[in-house]
Amino acid sequence: MAKEPKTRPTDASVDDFIAAVEDPRRRADAGAVCALMAEATGEPAVMWGSSIVGFGHTDGPTGDWPLIGFSPRKANLVLYVAGFPGREDLVAKLGRVKTGVGCIYVNRLDQLDGAVLRDLCDQSVRAIRARHPG
């Protein structure tokens, strides 16, 4: 049985959340990533907890979690993009980023290769849907 994560979907407005991002560049980057991820998943943006915008969901080994998502933090824009074969190669082509286990930390979206970012999102969504159908 999967452990229920503390971060759950809420009814909070994604538009209001993005509009409240203090830094204008981070706010614009959040809006652009929001549109890209909505297109990549075919799912609407939903607030997960108070600071994560997620798209779709999967009932994986750690419980319910978005297929992909992001969070516009003060220090950087955090992208939640799961692993899949070839992820590291795509991340290396993406541009100036730092990575964690399932996170990609972006300082400025305009420093990234947009086509690679789109491919990264598309492949991540396909991989998760293949691992956890339904």
Q: Which domains does the chain have, with CATH numbers?
A: 14-131 (3.90.1150.200)
Find, among 80, 73, 32, the residue nearest to 57 by Cα.
80
Find, among 12, 2, 16, the residue nearest to 60 by Cα.
2
Q: How far apart are CA 71 and CA 128, in angstroms?
A: 20
Chain-centroid distance of CA 26 in Å reads 14
Q: What is the pLDDT along the chain (134 residues), one digit of tens a residue?
A: 445 557 788 999 999 999 999 999 999 999 999 999 999 999 999 999 999 999 998 876 556 789 999 999 999 999 999 888 999 999 999 999 999 888 999 999 999 999 999 999 999 999 988 887 76
Residue 61 main-chain phi, psi, to 5 deg: -65, -20
Q: Which residue has the tokens 């991820």?
A: 37
- Report the predicted TM-score, pTM, of the whole model to 2 decimal places: 0.90
Q: Which residue has the tokens 């939640």?
A: 80
